[in-house]
Chains A and B, each alone.
Chain A
């Protein structure tokens, strides 16, 4: 059941590849703009890299949030989910996982390649990828609450960014912090543990909160 939802969303993403590619190219272009505009100052670029990559990842993940529930809302699939004997939280969790697989994973895979533009050393690239791997699911989970709350509202796209971006800040701080710590030779595992903790907390709490917001949005 849970897998049906994931399977369906992946199938839809396959049929409409442009949606997936826009998010990925947005990420690639935003990250690539900085070295072009700042110029080839290696030290400056190295210091900037973690922050730039993370901010671009936040924006890219937010770009696709509007679509998370909107299509299902318009064509009535969401109604059917609400009258399903399955728990709505589990269905939402399925949708979040699909959203992460479609928008989060490509960013994680692309990040080390983009990091090279900033002359990041090899182990910093690894830490950056690990931090993104742990952090991007948190972005999808928290984003689901915002997407559910703004469902069916006019101008929901702007509103969702105002709601969700402040909640992304902790992930941003510790995600970028892990890479900076690694580059200055300090232990970075505390940062990663904290992102892991965010992931666990939001994994439990966010599907439930998003499901409750969906019920309100559909009434």
Chain B
């Protein structure tokens, strides 16, 4: 259970948002909406513990994420705007290393299977720098297939993806929710996800 209590974000002298409250239970999705510059990414970074809220508290299973951070990070996958991939490494190496960093050491076979599933068959051994924008995004998202975490925090996961890939990711998200996972995401695209509980959080 992820909870935000009276969160506020201040950038310089401007207050981006205040008194943001939400609670996210197993199997539900929180969609953060708002125009550009309304603080969506700032909120997501806060939820990851990358920055501190100006006021308020974020709780994971009733405990502030500040105190039990190791346990929290073990159940969290964050995919942000930045890819976290290395241009000089191949798709396979990138996936293996980024999942190892997240605490999931996977074999080459598992990594290849994940890359094929996400539509990168035949591109596993190419350096990421020769891949297209959408393909790079797929390399990043392949981590969702191999890292068995409960909470996914996704910042614009659908950017640069083609229709087929968007469908693939939507399926993946639905599956994750059905298995009792939790998702916090931002997107400007209309999403069509079948889930028991979708909460919208509007920032303005």
Contacts and interface: CB of A to CB of B under 8 A. Distances in A.
Contact of B100 (A1, A77, A218): A1
B170 interface: no
Contacts of B201: none
Contact of A4 (B73, B88, B100): B100
Interface string B77-111: 01011111111110001000110111101000000
Given A80-B98, A86-B101, A75 B85 contact: yes
Contacts of B142: none
Query: Which secondary structure dominates where chain B touches chain A?
Result: loop
A80 B88 contact: no
Contact of A1 (B70, B83, B101): B101
Taking residues whose C-beta sits less than 8 angstroms from the other chain, chain B's interface range is 20 to 34
B178 interface: no
B103 A219 contact: no
A85 B89 contact: no
B163 interface: no
A11 B101 contact: no
B76 interface: yes
Given A75-B82, A84-B103, A219-B50, A15 B88 contact: yes
A36 interface: no
B82 to A, nearest CB: 3
A83 interface: yes
Contacts of B89: 8, 11-12, 15
Contacts of B97: 4, 7-8
Interface of B: 48-52, 70-71, 73-74, 76, 78, 80-89, 93, 97-98, 100-103, 105
Given A11-B89, A83-B73, 12 more contacts: A1-B100, A8-B97, A12-B89, A74-B82, A75-B82, A77-B98, A79-B84, A80-B78, A83-B50, A85-B73, A219-B50, A219-B51
Interface of A: 1, 4-5, 7-8, 11-12, 15-16, 71, 74-77, 79-87, 91, 218-219
Of all A-B residue pairs in the complex, the 5 with the closest CB atoms, nearest first, are A76-B82, A85-B74, A76-B84, A15-B88, A4-B100
15 contacts: A1-B100, A8-B86, A8-B89, A8-B93, A12-B86, A16-B88, A75-B82, A75-B83, A76-B80, A79-B50, A79-B80, A83-B50, A84-B73, A84-B101, A219-B50
